[in-house]
Structure 1
Amino acid sequence: MLNLNERRHFFNKVLVFTNLENEFIRGSYSRILFFTSLL
């Protein structure tokens, strides 16, 4: 039981981390598009 709980907790952490990473990638991507549109 505890092992399954730990695994789920780790999976949640990974999900949150990848979500933050995706937000960062999307932000930098839109920033790049913005700067290229200025040029």
Structure 2
Amino acid sequence: MEKKCTLYFLVLLPFFMILVTAELEESPEDSIQLGVT
């Protein structure tokens, strides 16, 4: 069980980091539109 949680964490962490950097580079309005659609 713990190994699965750790695996998901290692996979999702880089994904969220990329998501955050993408939001910082682009304007917030574009990020909101992408999230809605």
Please, what TM-score do these two structures have when normalized by structure 2? 0.57
Aligned to 1:25: 23
Q: Which has the higher helix share?
A: 1
What amino acid does structure 1 have at the position aligned with 2:26? S
Aligned-residue offset at 1:10: 0.1
Aligned to 2:32: none
The structure number with the bigger radius of gyration is 1
Aligned to 1:33: none
Identity %: 11
What amino acid does structure 2 have at the position aligned with 1:14? L
- Listed as ranges, the gaps of 5+ residues in structure 1 are 30-39
Please, what TM-score do these two structures have when normalized by structure 1? 0.55
